Structure 1
């Protein structure tokens, strides 16, 4: 059964997808963060989203998406709705910070993605759709998670719209199969939920790339991002001075 493609969808968190959009994406191994650890934030985000939905059933998605991208919404907003959107985005930033902090302190489990053969599997998967369905900007493979900055193309090689959920399904399925074969593991490899942020502008893109490439530096694994074998960026950022 084919999954219906929508600009907005959610599992535990809201996700926005649109052909041609750039994203900063993070996804993690299944047990990298305990399931209950961020339940407080997830629940509050869901409650806020439900309130936003009730305020404006016709425009809630576009308003929230516009706010997340840092541009003016296409529909008029009441002060109450603006306050909810502000609270939602503030809480979302706190969620990101807590998420990153927990990843940094978690010990490596039975699968270490920094092993050369596993890094290679992931790197090859991330560049597989390059020029066909995506434009890669940067990525970094860490021991228990992956950061990825890229832009969806408007249409694929067959002229069909390109959606984030399809790209992620393809990458996660392929890497899970290959890594399980290499490690002898079975079952689910990745946590179902991925954390995606729409790139608002070039400054946001620069910051996302800098964060991605400096992840192993901040973790004190290397002194310079280019020394990390699991990192890559496009030519535009190779000499950006991160």
Structure 2
């Protein structure tokens, strides 16, 4: 399995790896298919339930369908097509356009943005750090006003799906209690992506670092962690 990005700042150096096509692969199917490999760095995003209002999602859908039409693909369905359903020549660009548009709208900071409160952001950060070095190794995370990005690598015997549920359940309970609120806090299914290469690893590390500036949020107002800094 390819290894890269060795951190020398920890008591024991951490090495983060890329997706290995020849290794065991776990595929989970919910709204979208998700791939998971232990010992491989994975980029994860989870967001508050009010972070993408219906009109914002509709605007994103319209933009993607417009791009598809401009490239000769008619999409009459409410659901956007998966990249692998498109001609090979369009797949990479389609994924980039779709994901970039989603992230740009997420960075507009819709909703209550409860995580702007220092005490709420700290609850999330503490949850992420709690099993760091035990169940998984964190490379980086950032707690934005209405969403969280992180890169983590899970150790053998521990799964992303169960740990994500634990992070979300624990932090939601604490934040709701602190804010005297009830009901769902997080969108149920986080986004996750197995990192394919060292270049992609560093691109996403830099994306996390630069997210506040790109979203017009002061670095002092968020919780940020990078194992290499």
* Same structural fold, with TM-score higher than 0.5 when normalized by the shorter chain: yes
3-state DSSP class of the match of 1:19? Answer: coil
Instruction: Name stretches of at least 5 consecutive residues in structure 2 with no aligned partner.
Output: 1-24, 65-77
Map of 1:30 onto structure 2: 49
Report the CA distance between 1:198 and its aligned residue: 1.0
Alignment correspondent of 1:104: 107
1:233 partnered with 2:222: no
**Residues 13, 45 of structure 1: 8 Å contact kept:** no
Aligned residues: 188
Q: For 1:7-18, what aligned pairs fall within 5 Å after superposition?
A: 7-18=26-37
1:45 to 71, 74, 81: 81
| Contact 2:43–2:194 (CA under 8 A) maintained in structure 1 | yes
Return the offset for 1:90. Answer: 3.3
131, 137, 140: which is aligned to 1:138?
140
Contact 1:114 1:230 in 2 (8 A): no
> Equivalent residue of 1:206, what SS?
helix
Unaligned 5+ segments in structure 1 are: 1-5, 52-82, 156-160
1:11-36 C-alpha deviation (Å, 9 max, x unpaired): 22221112112111111100100255
**Matching of residue 21 in structure 1 with residue 57 in structure 2:** no
CA positional deviation for 1:165: 0.6
- 1:228: Cα distance to partner? 5.0
The question of 1:219 aligning with 2:215 is answered: yes
Deviations 1:129-161 (A, max 9, x none): 1111110000110100001111111x2xxxxx2
Asked if structure 1 preserves the Cα contact closer than 8 Å seen for 2:46 and 2:186, the reply is yes
Give the secondary-structure state (helix, strand or coil) at the position aligned to 1:204: helix
* Distance verdict in 2 for CA 1:101–1:209, change over 3 Å: same
| Closer, same or farther: CA 101–124 of 1 in aligned 2, 3 Å | same
1:191 aligns with 2:187: yes
1:164-195 CA distances to partner (integer Å, 9 max, x unpaired)? 11111110111111111011111111111211
CA RMSD of aligned residues (A): 2.3
